[in-house]
Amino acid sequence: MSNAETASEASGAISADRFVEIKLDEIIPNNVDLSSDKQLLRALETWRPNYLDWWNVMGPEGYQGAEVYLRTAVGVDPSGWAKFGHVKMPDYRWGVLLAPKVEGRKIPFGRHKGVPAWQEVPGEYRATLRRLLVVQGDTEPASVEQQRYLGATAPSLYDMRNLFQVNVEEGRHLWAIVYLLVKYFGKDGREEAQALLERRSGEADNPRILGAFNERTPDWLSFFMFTYFTDRDGKMQLAALAESGFDPLSRTCRFMLTEEAHHMFVGETGVQRTIEATCAAMAKAGIKHPEDVEAVRRLGVVDLPLLQRKANFHISVTRDLFGGEISSNAAEAFSAGLKGRFNEARLEDDHVLTEATYPVQRVVDGKIVEEQVPALRAINARLLDDYIADCQGGVDRWNKVIEKAGIAFRLAQPHKGFNRRIGEFAGQRISPAGEVLTEDQWQARSGAWLPNDDDMRFIDSLMKPCHERGKYASWIAPPRVGINNQPGDFEYVRIY
Ligand SMILES: [Fe+2]
Ligand SMILES: [Fe+2]
């Protein structure tokens, strides 16, 4: 060591190596020792410019230069994971953050139950695990693409900020999965990481992998329904993967879940504020009957029956994301210890499921019946049921708002079989109430259950931007509290 270096260390200055480390950790906040893992660093350095290209082309249209009041995760402890400040989205610091390692963690389920959790990918499960990662990873950039035009019609700066927060965090979720791919899957993983930037939502030649992620999110009501119902599918999938015997995946998903909660908050409060505006406008105009649709629409708010139809659409499309209720792939992922059930640790059974059964609904001879199926083959059915139960809380809270306003109307989740394309109910016609219908009956009645062209035109007519500080579009009530307790007229987005 030279005298100069000794002198600088003594004065508290930092060495060149340490400087590089700090710089890097500033650009890519991480708790995976990125600066000392040269191979990982090289892979991410190669991928990062391609990611930024993708973000600039496919991320939020028209607002890349705006300064947005965003939350950035720079660490996983309570002090580090929610730093707020105005940033331009392309400068957002997308990081690689894993929940802390649980010492002595054991695989909680499946045929390897009780053995120490894997820190490396088990060779025999390499292909299955890679596929699980790619399918989950693909949904993250897909939703950013689906939502990319919404900034222009934001009903307030508050909502615009929430949209962009969700978008940058879905970007970070992509980083989280890409980290696992390039760290643990070598050349294959690097190719998959690149392919995640190349598929495009809704594109015929190279679409995103799952159906719901190729649908459009054309308006803000769709966005709120999507973040309440479809991000909740993300929550359920992440929760099941957080149980994984592959420990890096478990830790990655556990941290992603903390961010996911905000996305569902945006959805739940977005729908709730829409309902509040509707109820207030109806009360003011003296309209008692929710079915007075024309009168309600003239007030510039969304009628409640239309909200139900929108919910029906997003709920049914999202349920298809769970895959077939009966699935040998899901059985294998469970037995292999790769993907567990929701709240696996809290379930009181043997966690191996060789003997257990689970009730699954299906149509037999024109009737919906419940049959006991080997529980292992019904892993998806169970996750779907858990999802449906998890959705109900918000629906109940929405109904409270309607009830308090004295309007006789209740929102409800449609029957599990309604409007399904995948699984036990694919090819069947089931009403929201759970009646099995003929094709003719369906054609005659389904217009009342799913949004029609008129509905979508009406929603579209409401989508006028409201980008003035502290102001909100007619169809949505202001939030009760600001983000990070900011005042009502806070400039959440500085548009230049
Ligand atoms: Fe996500
Ligand atoms: Fe999300």
Could you tell me the distance, in angstroms and rounded to a whole number, from the CA of residue 263 to the centre of ligand 2? Answer: 5
Could you tell me the distance, in angstroms and rounded to a whole number, from the CA of residue 349 to the centre of ligand 2? Answer: 31
Ligand nearest to the CA of 253: 1
Could you tell me the distance, in angstroms and rounded to a whole number, from the CA of residue 224 to the centre of ligand 2? Answer: 12
What is the predicted pLDDT for the residue at 234? 96
Ligand nearest to the CA of 237: 1
Could you tell me the distance, in angstroms and rounded to a whole number, from the CA of residue 218 to the centre of ligand 2? Answer: 17
Ligand nearest to the CA of 174: 1
Which residues does residue 69 pair with via DSSP β-bridges, in sequence order?
86
- Say how many residues make up the chain: 496
Could you tell me the distance, in angstroms and rounded to a whole number, from the CA of residue 285 to the centre of ligand 2? Answer: 37
What is the predicted pLDDT for the residue at 422? 97
Could you tell me the distance, in angstroms and rounded to a whole number, from the CA of residue 76 to the centre of ligand 2? Answer: 18
What is the predicted pLDDT for the residue at 481? 95
Q: What is the pLDDT of residues 455-494, one digit of tens each?
A: 999 999 999 999 999 999 999 999 999 999 999 899 999 9
Could you tell me the distance, in angstroms and rounded to a whole number, from the CA of residue 298 to the centre of ligand 1? Answer: 37
Could you tell me the distance, in angstroms and rounded to a whole number, from the CA of residue 265 to the centre of ligand 1? Answer: 14
Q: What is the pLDDT of residues 179-222, one digit of tens each?
A: 999 999 999 999 999 999 999 999 999 999 998 899 889 999 99
Tokens 């699954």 belong to: 360
Could you tell me the distance, in angstroms and rounded to a whole number, from the CA of residue 233 to the centre of ligand 1? Answer: 10
| Mean pLDDT of the 95-106 span | 95
Tokens 């003594």 belong to: 10
Region for 300 from its dihedrals, namely left if φ exceeds 0, alpha if ψ lies in -120 to 50, beta otherwise: left
Instruction: Report the alpha-carbon angle 290-265-382, nearest 5.
Output: 90
Ligand nearest to the CA of 166: 2
Rg (CA), the chain: 24
Find out whether 143 and 456 touch, Cβ atoms under 8 Å: no
What is the predicted pLDDT for the residue at 16? 67
Q: Which residues surround ligand 1, an ion (CB under 5 A)?
A: 140, 170, 173, 234
Residue 388 to residue 108: CA distance in whole angstroms? 24
Residue 146 to residue 156: CA distance in whole angstroms? 20
Residue 233 to residue 318: CA distance in whole angstroms? 7
Could you tell me the distance, in angstroms and rounded to a whole number, from the CA of residue 458 to the centre of ligand 2? Answer: 27
Per-residue pLDDT band at 25 (split at 50, 70, 90): confident
Q: What is the pLDDT of residues 237-257, one digit of tens each?
A: 999 999 999 999 999 999 999
Q: What is the pLDDT of residues 116-157, one digit of tens each?
A: 999 999 999 999 999 999 999 999 999 999 999 999 999 999
Residue 447 to residue 17: CA distance in whole angstroms? 65
Ligand nearest to the CA of 264: 2
Helix (H) or strand (E) holding 13: none
Strand order of the β-sheet with 67-72 is 83-88, 67-72, 493-494
Is 94 a residue whose pLDDT tops 50? yes
Parallel/antiparallel/unpaired status of strands 67-72 and 83-88: antiparallel
